[in-house]
Structure 1
């Protein structure tokens, strides 16, 4: 039996397209742009073709086309027109829509095709910053509103991880150009959100620096081992949910007191780092809000 989500509520459409449910109802009633199914209690339900059509209509509308004009276009003409008007600005929005459709239908082929088109026009870093990051942020909101299930999130995240690993491997072929400092990347115990850290590793490698990637669920004592082999270390940790709000300052203090020395420093990034009270810690601790901010600080 297929578990692919193929029927959506109007609230799902609002979350996926960014168009208010009230506006969707108006477009539907006045211009007949969508063809919903109805339950016995007269609740609107929409299939994947309706979702795809709405995403295309949304792009055209944001590009200046009036709904009254879009409604007169044939079913085949709408996606053709979308492809014709895609510019550098709209290319990103169209790619994100395609990735969302791929996620909703567990469609690996659509993901790969969309990614290949992006990579033909942009560098991998541009794809990540311009498309993958906004997509990941949207996915978080879609998950919180029950528009998607955890399986959708894991599916699309795994495919993005594949691409990061592929690009990282290309960088690892060459020896580091800068060897006077090593960057050790890891996630704390019970932290599993690894994608951002993986991309930071790629970015540092691509700039010719030496990295050691430890991955997820690393206890503090494991970090001490690196001090036996390297003199100048920058530890980088991505904290999304762990350590939690009540423990994070104690964790950073432990890092400061037991891991760092005159030649070592600690960089923290991620949602959980908002709860770090920087006044409690030494200048060897640096907090970053954005990945690009961290990378530019190399």
Structure 2
């Protein structure tokens, strides 16, 4: 499972490009656009070069080029045509494909070059919400379908994490705390998916509030100590895979009893595990959110 993936099934190509397997077979048969190899049992498999070519073909097709016209272009000239078209493309299709390609090839330079191009036109929050969120959504789907390995996921999320850290440090050096609000950001024990929480940290600082970032896998007892330092605290957490379905109600109950007993202490929480509890029955000090953007509106 942890080996670097260099060959792909036709289903992998469908997952990575969004082009249906049936369509890929037609293009392959009618226009000879791809040249798959075959296993000893005559099953097609595709190389990284095939994947890259199909991503480029799909991009050109989305931008109005007919498959018959693409098929007539020399394969070595297709990447240059894609670059030319991309110069005037205001959609995210090409950049998302490029980010995915950088992940598949473990190509750090391609990731940085793509980000640098975005940075000329957008603010960091715009890049995160408009480009990184769709990328992370697709990465999650690709990982779940075994199209990519955990190594691919870690490669991409680590690079995104670096960009959040750099951007957060930049605003910390410029922004001053303008309010008395204190936010304490943490993830439950054994929860390590922190990109969303890191972005919330960025937004809190950008809005002039004090943010205490504790990060991954924080025991509830460690949060109790903070209560002695501030009269009013808003805890913020992200329940992505923890607490688990069978434990989430108990976790919320214990958190309320141990931490939310003080008058001016609250918990804001996001994440897909919230779907495993009845949010209408949450204690009044707990506020659920369905997105980072909606949470930011409350700052």
Name the TM-score, length of structure 1 as normaliser.
0.94
Per the TM alignment, residue 42 of structure 1 is displaced from its structure 2 partner at its CA by 2.2
Q: Cα RMSD between the aligned structures?
A: 1.5
Partners of 2:4 and 2:151 within 8 A in 1: no
Partners of 1:256 and 1:281 within 8 A in 2: no
1:106 & 1:70 partners in 2: Cα distance?
27
Q: Quote the residue 1:96 is aligned against.
A: 96
Q: Quote the residue 2:276 is aligned against.
A: 275
Q: Quote the residue 2:22 is aligned against.
A: 22
Q: For 1:40-79, list aligned pairs within 5 A.
A: 40-79=40-79
SS at match of 2:184: strand
SS at match of 2:114: helix
2:4 & 2:252 partners in 1: Cα distance?
42
Q: Quote the residue 2:191 is aligned against.
A: 191
SS at match of 2:138: helix
Q: How many residues align?
A: 295
Q: Quote the residue 1:106 is aligned against.
A: 106
> Structure 1, unaligned stretches of length 5 or more?
none
Name the TM-score, length of structure 2 as normaliser.
0.94
Partners of 2:187 and 2:194 within 8 A in 1: yes
1:295 aligns to 2:296 (yes or no): yes
1:187 & 1:286 partners in 2: Cα distance?
16
Q: Quote the residue 1:251 is aligned against.
A: 251
SS at match of 1:268: strand
Partners of 1:239 and 1:272 within 8 A in 2: yes
SS at match of 2:217: strand
1:265 aligns to 2:258 (yes or no): no
Per the TM alignment, residue 116 of structure 1 is displaced from its structure 2 partner at its CA by 1.2
Partners of 2:4 and 2:149 within 8 A in 1: no
Q: Quote the residue 1:153 is aligned against.
A: 153
Divergent runs of 4+, >6 A: none
1:226 & 1:171 partners in 2: Cα distance?
25
Cα shift readout 1:136-159 (whole Å, capped 9, x = no counterpart):
111111111111111111111111
SS at match of 1:208: coil
SS at match of 1:185: strand
Per the TM alignment, residue 30 of structure 1 is displaced from its structure 2 partner at its CA by 0.6
Per the TM alignment, residue 69 of structure 1 is displaced from its structure 2 partner at its CA by 1.5
Q: Quote the residue 2:226 is aligned against.
A: 226
Partners of 2:175 and 2:206 within 8 A in 1: no
> Structure 2, unaligned stretches of length 5 or more?
none
- Could you say if the C-alpha distance between residues 218 and 208 of structure 1 is closer, same or farther in structure 2, counting changes exceeding 3 Å? same
1:115 aligns to 2:115 (yes or no): yes
Cα shift readout 1:31-67 (whole Å, capped 9, x = no counterpart):
1111212223222221112111111111111222211
Per the TM alignment, residue 196 of structure 1 is displaced from its structure 2 partner at its CA by 1.0
Per the TM alignment, residue 280 of structure 1 is displaced from its structure 2 partner at its CA by 2.8
Partners of 1:176 and 1:210 within 8 A in 2: no
Per the TM alignment, residue 193 of structure 1 is displaced from its structure 2 partner at its CA by 0.8
